[in-house]
A and B are shown apart, each in its own frame.
Chain A
Amino acid sequence: MTSDLGFIDPTASKHRTKIAPAPRSMDLSNKVVGLLDNTKEQGDIILETVGAALRERYGVAKVIMHRKEFFSKPASGELIDAMAQQVQIAIAAVGG
């Protein structure tokens, strides 16, 4: 893609697609929440604490924990699909 000035935009791409973020739920009661442990030390402790608070304070029906293979790797497609099937809201952890 060439600009009016005759320069090429190095970031122009015909392969780009826009993905709309999933709608955010404003009500947690009776929802199933997935927590993604990124494997960093103590991340699981933070998530378990968050999970307990979500159940006690916000009426979350169920909390499901998932764990990535390694903290600096993206979650696998299988893991993301599994969470998408099981949960209505997902929260990822950063520990360490």
Chain B
Amino acid sequence: MAGKIDEFEFFLEKEWSDGFPVVTPTEERVQWMLKGTRRDPDAVIGRVPPAGEVATVRTIAIHALMAGCKPEYLPVVLGAVELIVREEFNMGGVQCTMHGVAPLMIVNGPYAHKIGLHGGNGCFGPGFRANATIGRAIRLMLLNLGGGIPGLASATVFSSPIRYTACLAENSEYSPWESLAVSRGYSPDDNVISSVMVESPRLHFDDVSTEPERLLRGIADSMTSTGSWHMWFRSGIAVAMSPQHAKLCADAGMSRADTHSRLCELAGRTQGNLKRGGNWRPERARAMDADPDDDNCFIKAVKDPATLQLFVAGGMGPITAVCHGWNDSSRPVHAKYEV
């Protein structure tokens, strides 16, 4: 096939990867990947912004292969691409921004469980092929088809580790509540992806609280900071409670919806506090209907409760992962995907 050419070096030198070696796409391997779907390989799924290259089922299969996916992961990758090309998600804005957020895929339903998408111990990190490669396939397409490459279309200052891969399941086995998808009206049997533009998770460690109010006040504090872009915009934000933290609320009689509402109420800072540093401007205060001179005005981190993605994930232990958001121009999205 490749003679004396080193296929791994060949692809790395082409800048067709995220910096790591890829599985070399050959026609035979792509045909193997396409066994993961019944869809027409030439079917157009959408244009990946900002470059606007067309993602077909076949192009998506090529990138899933390169990322290291198994064919059975392909339906999730296809569903994810359908989501990221939606206008209200504004993938193009994120591809070009100075910020470093990425589309986090939270996958609910039986198919995610079947293919081994992990939502437990270590789910944001390495070691789980489905999580690692599905998210990586999305990123490779954002680079190769969308042109979201630092120095080209992307003005990102730092980017972020979450731009390598960002896909996980919920820990439904140990969650005391219905899933994120069910909370939106889907059936537990539906296969659903929810996606939101967020930063890498920060870990809120609380091994002290024994009742929900103290726990949630702490998590709410981790949802705010003077430099967080979402403090002055109607942004999506994600909070992944460990089963232990979620159970503490559930055991006190709080439903998922109760916990969601309480976090939306508590997460915020007074304007006086936010003025001490970060990105406060009088224009931004006015855009939030706040009087810039009113230091006591409470600025909520979550302006629209529908944009908070609260779910249960991670292993056993007293930690909640909080992912800060971006701005008004990207609305979190969710949809069923075809398996």
Contact residues of A with B, CB < 8 Å? 2, 5-8, 10-11, 13, 15-16, 41, 70-74
- Who on chain B is nearest to A11 by CB? B144
A8–B62 CB distance below 8 A: yes
Contacts of A73 in B (CB 8 A): 90, 93, 329
Q: How far is the CA of A72 from the CA of B93 in the complex (A)?
A: 5
Partner of A5, one of B1, B53, B93: B1
Give the most central of B140, B284, B328: most A CB within 10 Å.
B328
Cross-chain contact of B54 among A5, A15, A72 (Cβ < 8 A) = A15
| Cβ contacts under 8 Å, B25 to chain A | 7-8, 10
CB distance from A81 to the nearest CB of B (A): 18
Contact partner, B26, options A8, A13, A16, Cβ 8 Å? A8
Residues of A close to B66: CB separation below 8 A: 10
Query: Cβ of A41 and Cβ of B283 under 8 Å apart?
Result: yes
Which of A11, A15, A71 lies at the interface centre, i.e. has the most chain B CB atoms within 10 A of its CB? A11
Contact for A72 among B11, B63, B140, B329, CB less than 8 A: B329
Interface size class of B (residues with CB under 8 A): 35 or more
Residues of B within 8 A of A (CB): 1-3, 5, 7, 10-11, 16, 24-27, 30, 44, 50, 53-54, 59, 62-63, 66, 90, 92-94, 96-97, 140, 144-145, 281, 283-284, 327-329
Question: Do the beta carbons of B90 and A7 come within 8 Å of each other?
Answer: no
Picked from B2, B44, B63, B92, the residue with its CB within 8 Å of the CB of A10 is B63
Q: Can you spell out 17 A-B residue pairs with CB atoms less than 8 angstroms apart?
A: A2-B26, A5-B10, A7-B2, A7-B24, A8-B30, A8-B62, A10-B16, A11-B145, A13-B59, A15-B44, A15-B54, A41-B281, A41-B283, A70-B328, A72-B327, A72-B329, A73-B329
In the complex, the chain A residue whose C-beta lies closest to that of B26 is A6
- Contacts A13-B54, A16-B53 hold; do A5 and B328 have CB atoms under 8 A apart? no
CA distance A31 to B306 in the complex (A): 48
